[in-house]
Copies of this chain bind each other. A is one copy, B any other.
Amino acid sequence: MTIAQAVIHGDRLALARLLSQVENNVPDGRAALIELFPHTGKAHLLGVTGAPGTGKSSLVNQLVLHYRKTDERRVAIVAVDPSSPFTGGAVLGDRVRMRDLSGDPGVFIRSMATRGSLGGLAQATANIAQVFDAAGFDTVIIETVGAGQSEVDVARLAHTTLVVEAPGLGDEIQAIKAGILEIADILVVNKADRPGVENTEKALKSMLELAHPTQRVFRHHGVSMDVSVVEENPHEDIWIPPILRTVSIDGHGIAELAESIARHVAHLRLSGDWAVRERARLEVELEMLIRDELVGQFREKVPQKNYEDVLEKVVRRDLSPWEAVKSLMNGRLK
Protein backbone atom coordinates (compact mmCIF):
# COMPACT_ATOMS: atom_id res chain seq x y z
CA MET A 1 0.00 0.00 0.00
CA THR A 2 1.36 3.44 -0.92
CA ILE A 3 1.41 6.22 1.64
CA ALA A 4 -1.38 7.94 -0.33
CA GLN A 5 -3.56 4.82 -0.07
CA ALA A 6 -2.85 4.58 3.65
CA VAL A 7 -3.91 8.21 4.08
CA ILE A 8 -7.14 7.58 2.16
CA HIS A 9 -7.81 4.62 4.44
CA GLY A 10 -7.56 6.80 7.53
CA ASP A 11 -4.05 5.94 8.77
CA ARG A 12 -3.16 8.91 11.02
CA LEU A 13 0.51 8.02 11.24
CA ALA A 14 0.80 7.91 7.45
CA LEU A 15 -1.08 11.22 7.31
CA ALA A 16 1.39 12.91 9.69
CA ARG A 17 4.33 11.55 7.69
CA LEU A 18 2.88 12.66 4.37
CA LEU A 19 2.15 16.16 5.70
CA SER A 20 5.83 16.53 6.56
CA GLN A 21 6.89 15.32 3.12
CA VAL A 22 4.48 17.75 1.50
CA GLU A 23 5.51 20.70 3.67
CA ASN A 24 9.17 20.02 2.89
CA ASN A 25 8.33 19.60 -0.78
CA VAL A 26 10.25 16.30 -1.21
CA PRO A 27 9.70 14.15 -4.34
CA ASP A 28 7.79 11.45 -2.41
CA GLY A 29 5.33 14.08 -1.23
CA ARG A 30 4.72 15.31 -4.74
CA ALA A 31 4.12 11.77 -6.04
CA ALA A 32 1.58 11.21 -3.28
CA LEU A 33 -0.15 14.49 -4.10
CA ILE A 34 -0.59 13.38 -7.71
CA GLU A 35 -2.05 10.10 -6.49
CA LEU A 36 -4.38 11.88 -4.05
CA PHE A 37 -5.56 14.62 -6.41
CA PRO A 38 -8.55 12.73 -7.89
CA HIS A 39 -9.85 12.29 -4.32
CA THR A 40 -9.90 16.02 -3.60
CA GLY A 41 -12.58 18.66 -4.15
CA LYS A 42 -14.99 17.51 -1.46
CA ALA A 43 -13.91 19.36 1.70
CA HIS A 44 -15.13 22.79 2.68
CA LEU A 45 -12.07 25.03 3.02
CA LEU A 46 -12.63 27.64 5.71
CA GLY A 47 -10.09 30.47 6.03
CA VAL A 48 -9.77 32.33 9.33
CA THR A 49 -7.62 35.44 9.44
CA GLY A 50 -7.15 38.57 11.56
CA ALA A 51 -4.55 40.53 13.52
CA PRO A 52 -2.66 39.05 16.49
CA GLY A 53 -4.55 39.53 19.73
CA THR A 54 -8.04 39.01 18.28
CA GLY A 55 -8.36 35.57 19.90
CA LYS A 56 -8.50 33.81 16.54
CA SER A 57 -7.06 30.51 17.76
CA SER A 58 -9.50 30.10 20.66
CA LEU A 59 -12.33 31.01 18.31
CA VAL A 60 -11.24 28.22 15.96
CA ASN A 61 -11.00 25.80 18.90
CA GLN A 62 -14.54 26.66 20.03
CA LEU A 63 -15.89 26.29 16.52
CA VAL A 64 -14.28 22.87 16.16
CA LEU A 65 -15.63 21.74 19.55
CA HIS A 66 -19.08 22.91 18.43
CA TYR A 67 -18.86 20.97 15.16
CA ARG A 68 -17.71 17.83 16.93
CA LYS A 69 -20.59 18.04 19.41
CA THR A 70 -23.36 18.78 16.92
CA ASP A 71 -22.70 17.01 13.64
CA GLU A 72 -19.69 14.74 14.07
CA ARG A 73 -17.99 16.05 10.99
CA ARG A 74 -14.22 15.47 10.74
CA VAL A 75 -12.21 18.68 10.98
CA ALA A 76 -8.58 19.46 10.10
CA ILE A 77 -6.82 22.67 11.10
CA VAL A 78 -3.87 24.11 9.21
CA ALA A 79 -2.36 26.85 11.38
CA VAL A 80 -0.13 29.07 9.25
CA ASP A 81 2.15 31.10 11.46
CA PRO A 82 4.47 33.48 9.66
CA SER A 83 6.58 33.98 12.76
CA SER A 84 10.32 33.96 12.52
CA PRO A 85 11.99 30.58 12.98
CA PHE A 86 13.53 31.39 16.36
CA THR A 87 10.36 32.43 18.19
CA GLY A 88 8.74 29.04 17.87
CA GLY A 89 5.28 30.59 17.72
CA ALA A 90 3.79 27.71 15.80
CA VAL A 91 4.89 25.16 18.36
CA LEU A 92 3.50 27.14 21.26
CA GLY A 93 0.15 27.61 19.54
CA ASP A 94 -0.03 23.89 18.99
CA ARG A 95 0.41 23.09 22.66
CA VAL A 96 -2.39 25.41 23.74
CA ARG A 97 -4.70 23.81 21.21
CA MET A 98 -3.80 20.30 22.20
CA ARG A 99 -5.35 20.84 25.62
CA ASP A 100 -8.79 21.36 24.07
CA LEU A 101 -8.81 19.08 21.09
CA SER A 102 -6.29 16.32 21.64
CA GLY A 103 -7.50 12.76 21.81
CA ASP A 104 -10.36 13.38 19.38
CA PRO A 105 -9.76 11.11 16.38
CA GLY A 106 -12.05 13.32 14.26
CA VAL A 107 -9.69 16.30 14.60
CA PHE A 108 -6.23 16.76 13.11
CA ILE A 109 -4.06 19.85 13.69
CA ARG A 110 -1.05 20.87 11.65
CA SER A 111 1.05 23.97 12.28
CA MET A 112 3.22 25.47 9.58
CA ALA A 113 5.83 28.17 10.00
CA THR A 114 6.89 30.39 7.13
CA ARG A 115 9.75 28.80 5.24
CA GLY A 116 11.37 30.53 2.37
CA SER A 117 9.35 32.56 -0.06
CA LEU A 118 5.80 33.76 0.10
CA GLY A 119 4.73 31.78 -2.94
CA GLY A 120 6.25 28.77 -1.23
CA LEU A 121 4.05 29.18 1.83
CA ALA A 122 0.81 29.62 -0.10
CA GLN A 123 1.69 26.61 -2.25
CA ALA A 124 2.61 24.44 0.74
CA THR A 125 -0.62 25.41 2.50
CA ALA A 126 -2.65 24.56 -0.60
CA ASN A 127 -0.95 21.16 -0.74
CA ILE A 128 -1.53 20.45 2.95
CA ALA A 129 -5.22 21.33 2.49
CA GLN A 130 -5.38 18.92 -0.46
CA VAL A 131 -3.99 16.10 1.64
CA PHE A 132 -6.63 16.68 4.33
CA ASP A 133 -9.32 16.92 1.64
CA ALA A 134 -8.29 13.58 0.14
CA ALA A 135 -8.02 12.04 3.62
CA GLY A 136 -11.74 12.63 4.01
CA PHE A 137 -11.88 15.62 6.36
CA ASP A 138 -15.18 17.43 5.83
CA THR A 139 -13.94 20.84 6.88
CA VAL A 140 -10.38 22.11 6.56
CA ILE A 141 -9.76 25.27 8.55
CA ILE A 142 -6.84 27.38 7.34
CA GLU A 143 -5.91 29.75 10.13
CA THR A 144 -3.46 32.58 9.44
CA VAL A 145 -1.93 35.15 11.76
CA GLY A 146 -1.72 38.79 10.78
CA ALA A 147 -3.17 40.88 8.03
CA GLY A 148 -0.46 41.21 5.42
CA GLN A 149 -0.42 40.16 1.81
CA SER A 150 0.75 36.65 2.69
CA GLU A 151 -2.34 36.08 4.83
CA VAL A 152 -4.56 37.43 2.08
CA ASP A 153 -2.94 35.03 -0.37
CA VAL A 154 -3.43 32.11 1.98
CA ALA A 155 -7.04 33.10 2.68
CA ARG A 156 -7.75 33.13 -1.06
CA LEU A 157 -7.36 29.36 -0.97
CA ALA A 158 -10.59 29.10 1.02
CA HIS A 159 -14.22 28.76 -0.03
CA THR A 160 -15.31 30.82 2.96
CA THR A 161 -13.16 33.40 4.74
CA LEU A 162 -13.76 34.69 8.27
CA VAL A 163 -12.04 37.91 9.24
CA VAL A 164 -11.72 38.21 13.01
CA GLU A 165 -11.49 41.57 14.75
CA ALA A 166 -11.58 42.54 18.43
CA PRO A 167 -12.46 45.79 20.19
CA GLY A 168 -9.71 48.21 21.09
CA LEU A 169 -6.85 47.01 18.92
CA GLY A 170 -6.85 49.91 16.50
CA ASP A 171 -8.22 47.21 14.26
CA GLU A 172 -10.53 49.42 12.22
CA ILE A 173 -7.43 51.00 10.78
CA GLN A 174 -5.68 47.67 10.34
CA ALA A 175 -8.57 46.20 8.40
CA ILE A 176 -8.71 49.21 6.12
CA LYS A 177 -4.99 49.29 5.49
CA ALA A 178 -4.57 45.65 4.81
CA GLY A 179 -7.59 45.41 2.56
CA ILE A 180 -8.62 42.18 4.24
CA LEU A 181 -12.22 43.35 4.38
CA GLU A 182 -12.36 42.70 0.66
CA ILE A 183 -11.81 39.01 1.20
CA ALA A 184 -14.19 38.61 4.16
CA ASP A 185 -17.27 36.46 3.69
CA ILE A 186 -18.10 36.70 7.38
CA LEU A 187 -16.85 39.30 9.85
CA VAL A 188 -16.47 38.29 13.48
CA VAL A 189 -16.03 40.73 16.34
CA ASN A 190 -14.50 38.42 18.94
CA LYS A 191 -13.99 39.37 22.61
CA ALA A 192 -17.38 41.06 22.26
CA ASP A 193 -17.70 41.36 26.04
CA ARG A 194 -15.04 44.07 25.98
CA PRO A 195 -15.73 47.81 25.87
CA GLY A 196 -15.59 49.36 22.43
CA VAL A 197 -17.42 46.55 20.66
CA GLU A 198 -20.01 48.97 19.21
CA ASN A 199 -17.27 51.17 17.73
CA THR A 200 -15.54 48.22 16.12
CA GLU A 201 -18.83 47.01 14.70
CA LYS A 202 -19.73 50.48 13.42
CA ALA A 203 -16.34 50.89 11.74
CA LEU A 204 -16.70 47.51 10.05
CA LYS A 205 -20.22 48.38 8.89
CA SER A 206 -19.19 51.62 7.23
CA MET A 207 -16.22 49.89 5.62
CA LEU A 208 -18.53 47.19 4.28
CA GLU A 209 -20.92 49.72 2.80
CA LEU A 210 -18.00 51.33 1.05
CA ALA A 211 -16.50 48.05 -0.10
CA HIS A 212 -19.53 46.10 -1.05
CA PRO A 213 -20.84 47.45 -4.37
CA THR A 214 -17.57 48.18 -6.11
CA GLN A 215 -15.59 45.29 -4.81
CA ARG A 216 -17.42 42.15 -3.89
CA VAL A 217 -20.29 42.23 -6.33
CA PHE A 218 -17.97 43.26 -9.12
CA ARG A 219 -15.52 40.52 -8.35
CA HIS A 220 -18.04 37.72 -8.38
CA HIS A 221 -20.22 38.68 -11.28
CA GLY A 222 -18.15 40.84 -13.56
CA VAL A 223 -20.62 43.73 -13.30
CA SER A 224 -20.63 46.72 -11.03
CA MET A 225 -23.81 47.29 -9.06
CA ASP A 226 -25.13 50.10 -6.91
CA VAL A 227 -25.43 49.21 -3.22
CA SER A 228 -29.05 50.48 -3.15
CA VAL A 229 -29.96 48.00 -5.88
CA VAL A 230 -28.30 45.23 -3.91
CA GLU A 231 -30.22 46.06 -0.78
CA GLU A 232 -33.59 46.41 -2.49
CA ASN A 233 -33.26 43.18 -4.40
CA PRO A 234 -31.93 40.50 -2.10
CA HIS A 235 -31.10 37.53 -4.25
CA GLU A 236 -29.30 34.29 -3.70
CA ASP A 237 -26.52 35.49 -6.02
CA ILE A 238 -25.57 38.30 -3.66
CA TRP A 239 -23.80 37.59 -0.39
CA ILE A 240 -23.60 40.50 2.03
CA PRO A 241 -20.96 39.63 4.65
CA PRO A 242 -22.68 39.48 8.04
CA ILE A 243 -21.03 40.91 11.17
CA LEU A 244 -21.24 38.55 14.15
CA ARG A 245 -20.27 38.94 17.81
CA THR A 246 -18.52 36.14 19.67
CA VAL A 247 -16.85 35.58 23.03
CA SER A 248 -14.59 32.63 22.45
CA ILE A 249 -13.84 32.07 26.14
CA ASP A 250 -17.44 31.19 27.05
CA GLY A 251 -18.60 30.08 23.61
CA HIS A 252 -21.09 32.93 23.20
CA GLY A 253 -22.09 33.37 19.55
CA ILE A 254 -20.31 30.21 18.32
CA ALA A 255 -23.53 28.41 17.32
CA GLU A 256 -24.63 31.48 15.34
CA LEU A 257 -21.22 31.59 13.67
CA ALA A 258 -21.49 27.92 12.66
CA GLU A 259 -24.95 28.63 11.24
CA SER A 260 -23.67 31.62 9.28
CA ILE A 261 -20.87 29.50 7.81
CA ALA A 262 -23.42 26.85 6.79
CA ARG A 263 -25.53 29.56 5.11
CA HIS A 264 -22.47 30.74 3.19
CA VAL A 265 -21.78 27.20 1.96
CA ALA A 266 -25.40 26.93 0.82
CA HIS A 267 -25.08 30.28 -0.95
CA LEU A 268 -21.90 29.14 -2.71
CA ARG A 269 -23.64 25.99 -3.96
CA LEU A 270 -26.84 27.76 -5.09
CA SER A 271 -25.16 30.69 -6.81
CA GLY A 272 -22.53 28.63 -8.56
CA ASP A 273 -19.80 30.52 -6.71
CA TRP A 274 -18.43 27.27 -5.28
CA ALA A 275 -17.37 26.17 -8.77
CA VAL A 276 -16.11 29.68 -9.61
CA ARG A 277 -13.87 29.70 -6.51
CA GLU A 278 -12.66 26.14 -7.10
CA ARG A 279 -11.65 27.05 -10.63
CA ALA A 280 -9.94 30.31 -9.58
CA ARG A 281 -8.07 28.47 -6.83
CA LEU A 282 -6.82 25.75 -9.16
CA GLU A 283 -5.83 28.33 -11.77
CA VAL A 284 -3.69 30.19 -9.22
CA GLU A 285 -2.11 26.89 -8.21
CA LEU A 286 -1.39 25.99 -11.82
CA GLU A 287 0.22 29.39 -12.40
CA MET A 288 2.45 29.04 -9.34
CA LEU A 289 3.63 25.63 -10.51
CA ILE A 290 4.29 26.87 -14.05
CA ARG A 291 6.39 29.73 -12.69
CA ASP A 292 8.42 27.44 -10.43
CA GLU A 293 8.99 24.99 -13.28
CA LEU A 294 10.09 27.73 -15.70
CA VAL A 295 12.54 29.18 -13.19
CA GLY A 296 13.85 25.69 -12.39
CA GLN A 297 14.43 24.90 -16.08
CA PHE A 298 16.12 28.27 -16.57
CA ARG A 299 18.51 27.62 -13.67
CA GLU A 300 19.47 24.26 -15.14
CA LYS A 301 20.18 25.72 -18.56
CA VAL A 302 22.16 28.80 -17.57
CA PRO A 303 25.62 27.97 -16.17
CA GLN A 304 26.17 29.55 -12.74
CA LYS A 305 29.32 31.20 -14.12
CA ASN A 306 27.36 33.09 -16.81
CA TYR A 307 24.85 34.20 -14.24
CA GLU A 308 27.56 35.46 -11.88
CA ASP A 309 29.33 37.32 -14.69
CA VAL A 310 26.18 39.09 -15.73
CA LEU A 311 25.28 39.96 -12.13
CA GLU A 312 28.78 41.39 -11.66
CA LYS A 313 28.26 43.67 -14.67
CA VAL A 314 24.97 44.87 -13.18
CA VAL A 315 26.64 45.57 -9.82
CA ARG A 316 29.29 47.62 -11.63
CA ARG A 317 26.48 49.46 -13.48
CA ASP A 318 27.89 48.33 -16.83
CA LEU A 319 24.61 46.61 -17.67
CA SER A 320 21.08 47.45 -16.58
CA PRO A 321 19.02 44.62 -15.06
CA TRP A 322 16.78 44.55 -18.18
CA GLU A 323 19.74 44.25 -20.52
CA ALA A 324 21.12 41.54 -18.22
CA VAL A 325 17.92 39.51 -18.52
CA LYS A 326 18.00 39.85 -22.30
CA SER A 327 21.60 38.70 -22.39
CA LEU A 328 20.88 35.68 -20.16
CA MET A 329 17.82 34.72 -22.22
CA ASN A 330 19.81 34.87 -25.46
CA GLY A 331 22.57 32.76 -23.94
CA ARG A 332 19.99 30.20 -22.94
CA LEU A 333 18.48 29.92 -26.41
CA LYS A 334 21.78 29.16 -28.13
Contacts and interface: CB of A to CB of B under 8 A. Distances in A.
A321 B52 contact: no
Interface stretch (A69-77, A262-270, A309-317): A309-317
A149 interface: yes
Nearest to A317: B38
A295 interface: yes
- For chain A, the bracket of interface size reads 35 or more
Interface in A85-116: 86-87, 89, 114
Nearest to A292: B325
Contacts of A282: 311, 314-315, 321
A84 B215 contact: yes
A37 B317 contact: yes
Given A38-B317, A84-B181, A317-B38, A170 B169 contact: yes
Interface in A203-247: 210-211, 214-215
B289 A295 contact: no
A320 interface: yes
A314 to B, nearest CB: 5
A278 to B, nearest CB: 7
B286 A311 contact: yes
B290 A82 contact: no
Interface in A276-334: 278-279, 282-283, 285-286, 289-291, 293-295, 297-298, 310-311, 314-315, 317-318, 320-325, 328-329
A61 to B, nearest CB: 19
A26 interface: no
Contact of A173 (B52, B84, B298, B318): B52
Interface stretch (A11-19, A140-148, A156-164, A188-196): A140-148
A138 interface: no
A20 to B, nearest CB: 19
A311 B279 contact: yes
A176 interface: yes
B150 A293 contact: no
B322 A34 contact: yes
Nearest to A283: B311
Given A146-B147, A148-B149, A286-B324, 20 more contacts: A53-B173, A83-B177, A84-B179, A86-B214, A87-B176, A87-B179, A87-B210, A114-B149, A118-B118, A145-B177, A148-B150, A148-B178, A149-B149, A169-B170, A279-B315, A283-B311, A285-B321, A290-B298, A290-B328, A291-B295
13 contacts: A33-B322, A34-B322, A53-B170, A81-B177, A82-B149, A114-B149, A279-B311, A285-B321, A286-B310, A289-B325, A290-B298, A291-B294, A294-B294
